[in-house]
Amino acid sequence: MTRKKLLTEQLRAAVKASDKTRYRLSLETGIDQGALSRFVHRKVGLTLDTAGLLADALGLELQPRRPVRKRKPTKKGR
């Protein structure tokens, strides 16, 4: 699972587990209620800015991670 999917899955789960209705989240974030519904039902994704708004309204914090760099294979015998 990619980090993008992991983030969106966490946000979807947080929306579903929240005691706030989608209507309330829409009012607090400015995210269109229909767009929020489509996100929860896996029809569309979110921009990073929108994900940040939603995370703030849910009391979550987005933290960037450094990407894992792949090591180049070493040449043996040199």
Over 32-57, what HEC string results? Answer: CHHHHHHHHCCCCCCCHHHHHHHHHH
Distance between CA atoms of residues 61 and 54, nearest Å? 10
Per-residue pLDDT tens over the stretch 9-44: 999 999 999 999 999 999 999 999 999 999 999 999
Q: Rounded mean pLDDT of 57-77?
A: 80
72 Cβ neighbours under 8 A, 6+ residues apart: none
More confidently predicted of 72 and 43:
43
pTM here? 0.73
Checking if the pLDDT of 65 tops 90, the result is: no
Checking if the pLDDT of 70 tops 70, the result is: yes
